[in-house]
Structure 1
């Protein structure tokens, strides 16, 4: 399919005709010999008496070439383009960041599994989160792990297979034994700033309270709210424990409330799966389809034809004068 980027330029096509009608021909004065018997001389020679000013006639081939050159020049200014086949790109309308606690307490083997046997906390979390990621095909996801420090394990990407592979390689203690909950929130906010997508969801999972952050979780939650980041906080630890291993569900609830999200507590693998399923229902996967057609500019062809035609006309004129001479 062919189209013009600036079709209004075609109104210039009749411009030479308007100039021909409105602008008088060029006149050049020349010396003349006045004869009292001019009419008699004209009759004797069989010449026709005309006005002194004449417009030199041009060969028809030159006129045709001039018209063609003008039309090609105007067409080039109108920017003809060839449109390719429609191309469609589907991209996510929501960015999701998974922030997972891998502090030393996640190594505890006290989490009831599907068959009610006690398994490692992180092992249970990995299995459930992997199923959640597989259901979110089409979303852009990032993976953040945190212990004494927070790290981006996988930046925002639509390659969820890579996210799953990195999640599978995550081990307890990789980021240190303590829990830097506030720093993890801050790192998630910086991760979202690299994206131009407005819908931002952070799913935070932790089994303890904040013991190593430079920024308090509440301050980080306030900043997240200002950045339109919605936080869903999940607690998987033991609220009755003491010291660093005690799960502070109150802080998680406050974090979620300040950003318009929700907080959850999972006491076993089954309830953890239900939580991620519920989150899946609350914030379903959304995508948008962008359509475009590749455009190839053809102006150079019109200009090339115009220049070639002009050169041929010039060559024809030179050849014609030589023959006449």
Structure 2
């Protein structure tokens, strides 16, 4: 905190009594009146070591100094930033929940890694409207656009394999996301589409859904999820109902995902492990930031009243003590 003064020259008035005292001492004479107080009150009540004259002069000097500070106009300038437009971005996460998302090339698996990264992403965007769409053999909205981050995190935590029939309907997942976001009131609309396979089912072609996104000015960021080569992938259930895993080649239709991103003005990313997926979400987080207008101005906080009232109180105390306690008189 840095205190400044509107009338700094007033502070130099403190030199006046010092100058007068210096002249008085030099001439050894009394050229101006001062208050002189008897010791009757103090002797009566046992305050023999107190000098009422010193107390009176101390009160007077203190009030003079405090009032000078008040008259000098002390203030503090604080820089304040105020948002003029707090509009956020509308974002829909379209997440593949097919059986292959349980593959263990990510730790602990693709689906749980996605949930962890998506939760962090949502938590770091307090001003944005975010929704979640899930797809496999068909698609549905897990949670519509909302700013309720606790509800979003709960919805993401509930995501699991088997919520819809198996398959990879990329077109359906994208079309449902477009339908959820197209009427949003925000200027910026974004879909993050994740897939770990190839479109093999669904009534809507992925490129048709991409054209729809383009029509509504929606950017689509696509993420291919899966290592390059082979991954432990669930292929069936055993007689106990447990998933059986087998090393299978990872097959992602990267050309399709690249075309979707290119058509809509987004980007395509390939996530080969959990760390890479996290970095991709962090990059998208930086690219898609709320454009919030701000103005900066100085907020002037004045402190004169904090000195004026104590100064007046000191003068009143000095006057009352001299008139009624010290039995002061002027010589």
Q: TM-score, normalised by structure 1?
A: 0.56
Of 79, 87, 105 in structure 2, the residue corresponding to residue 110 of structure 1 is: 105
Give the length in aligned residue pairs: 196
Structure 1 partner of 2:199: 210
Structure 2 partner of 1:98: 93
CA offsets, 1:218-258, max 9 Å, x none?
A: 11111111110000001112555699962111111110000
Equivalent residues of 1:230, 1:259 under 8 A apart: yes
Give unmatched runs, 5+ long, in structure 2.
Answer: 1-82, 231-246, 295-331
The offset of 1:159, in angstroms, is 0.5
Structure 1 partner of 2:277: 272
Equivalent residues of 1:93, 1:288 under 8 A apart: no
Identify if the C-alpha distance between structure 1 residues 261 and 175 changes in structure 2 by more than 3 Å, giving closer, same or farther.
Answer: same
Map 1:220-259 → 2, pairs under 5 A: 220-238=209-227, 240=229, 246-259=251-264
Runs of 4+ in structure 1 off by over 4 angstroms are 88-91, 238-245
Structure 2 partner of 1:57: none
Equivalent residues of 1:139, 1:286 under 8 A apart: no
The offset of 1:108, in angstroms, is 1.5
SS in 2 for 1:261: coil
The offset of 1:288, in angstroms, is 6.7
Structure 2 partner of 1:45: none
Of 171, 180, 183 in structure 2, the residue corresponding to residue 182 of structure 1 is: 171
Name the structure, 1 or 2, with higher relative contact order (CA <8 Å, separation 6+): 2
CA–CA distance in 1 between the matches of 2:138 and 2:95? 12
Give unmatched runs, 5+ long, in structure 1.
Answer: 1-87, 114-118, 290-325
Structure 1 partner of 2:310: none
Structure having the larger proportion of residues in strand? 2
Q: Point out the more displaced range, 101-110 or 90-99.
A: 90-99
Identify if the C-alpha distance between structure 1 residues 245 and 103 changes in structure 2 by more than 3 Å, giving closer, same or farther.
Answer: farther
CA–CA distance in 1 between the matches of 2:141 and 2:219? 19
The offset of 1:107, in angstroms, is 1.3
Map 1:67-216 → 2, pairs under 5 A: 91-111=86-106, 113=107, 119-216=108-205
Identify if the C-alpha distance between structure 1 residues 101 and 121 changes in structure 2 by more than 3 Å, giving closer, same or farther.
Answer: same
CA offsets, 1:100-133, max 9 Å, x none?
A: 100111111221x3xxxxx211011111111111
Q: Provide the aligned C-alpha RMSD in A.
A: 2.3
CA offsets, 1:47-99, max 9 Å, x none?
A: xxxxxxxxxxxxxxxxxxxxxxxxxxxxxxxxxxxxxxxxx997533100110
Map 1:43-58 → 2, pairs under 5 A: none
SS in 1 for 2:92: strand
Map 1:6-45 → 2, pairs under 5 A: none
The offset of 1:173, in angstroms, is 2.0
CA–CA distance in 2 between the matches of 1:188 and 1:161? 21
